[in-house]
Amino acid sequence: MTTDERTQSKSRAAYDWVKARIARREYTPGYRLVLGSIAAELDMSVVPVREALRQLEAEGLVTFERNVGARVAMVDESQYAFSMQALAILEGSATALAARTLTPADLKRARDINDRMVASLDHFDPGAFTALNHEFHASLYGPCPNARLLDLVNAEWGRLGNLRNSTFAFVPGRAQESVREHEGIVGLIESGAPLDEIESAARRHRSATLDAYLEHEHTPA
């Protein structure tokens, strides 16, 4: 193997290593990526690490700033808003389509998850709360008979995970409102409410979280 090939191989290893940590949110938006530290951890020189970060920069995952160096890219607020808007529509529809198939046991499971979310408010962990939030909603939309719609919902959930570790980290007060709205959605399904009413409630719930985040971001400190 030539020197260039060895460098390329190490660069690929560094690329995979850093990208995996960004995907797992160990490296969150704004996190400073120190070339020397990464190189030392991977037992290689800074040259392949720099090449790896440049590749990640080309993909929009890393930025380089003068006198600062490399950082994990900050999130484009418009992309986050677009995903939340899309998810409001998709998840609302999937929840409505699944509503008539949900059993009393399914609804009890959803309530149990929401109860865990309520209990977590006293020692609030945004990441854990977000994981429970996803579990709650999946318990309601999961039985949706439209497989294509389910794929789209799950894709948007995954995209949101890359854009924001947890919206509730920015607007923790929204968590209390969220669990109350969860109970309302479950109540509508349980009572056999019209499907368009269930869909609207699920859509409003998602949109309210986006609205709370945008208000927080654009309110002067």
pLDDT of residue 221: 52
Q: Residue 23 and residue 20: Cα distance in Å, rounded?
A: 5
Contact 95, 199 (CB under 8 A): yes
Contact 181, 208 (CB under 8 A): yes
Pick from 132, 111, 215, 89: nearest CA to 102: 111
Return the CATH superfamily for domain 75-216: GntR ligand-binding domain-like (1.20.120.530)
Tell me the pTM: 0.70
Exposure string of 111-129, with b = 16+ CB inside 10 Å and e = fewer, is bebbeebbeeeeeeebeeb
pLDDT of residue 167: 80
Q: How many CA atoms lie within 13 A of 203 on its CB side?
A: 14
Look at the domain 8-70 and name its fold: Arc Repressor Mutant, subunit A (1.10.10)
In the chain, where the domains are located:
8-70, 75-216
Pick from 153, 166, 4, 148: nearest CA to 75: 166
The tokens for 144 are 């949706």
pLDDT of residue 165: 65
**3 state DSSP class of 167:** helix
pLDDT of residue 137: 98
pLDDT of residue 28: 79
Specify burial of residue 134 (Cβ count, 10 A radius: 0-12, 13-18, 19+): middle
pLDDT of residue 4: 61
Q: What is the pLDDT along the chain (221 residues), one digit of tens a residue?
A: 566 666 678 999 999 999 888 877 788 777 889 999 999 999 999 999 999 999 998 877 888 888 878 988 767 778 889 989 999 999 999 999 999 999 999 999 999 999 999 999 999 988 889 999 999 999 999 999 999 999 999 988 887 876 666 788 778 889 999 999 999 999 999 999 999 999 999 999 999 999 998 887 777 65
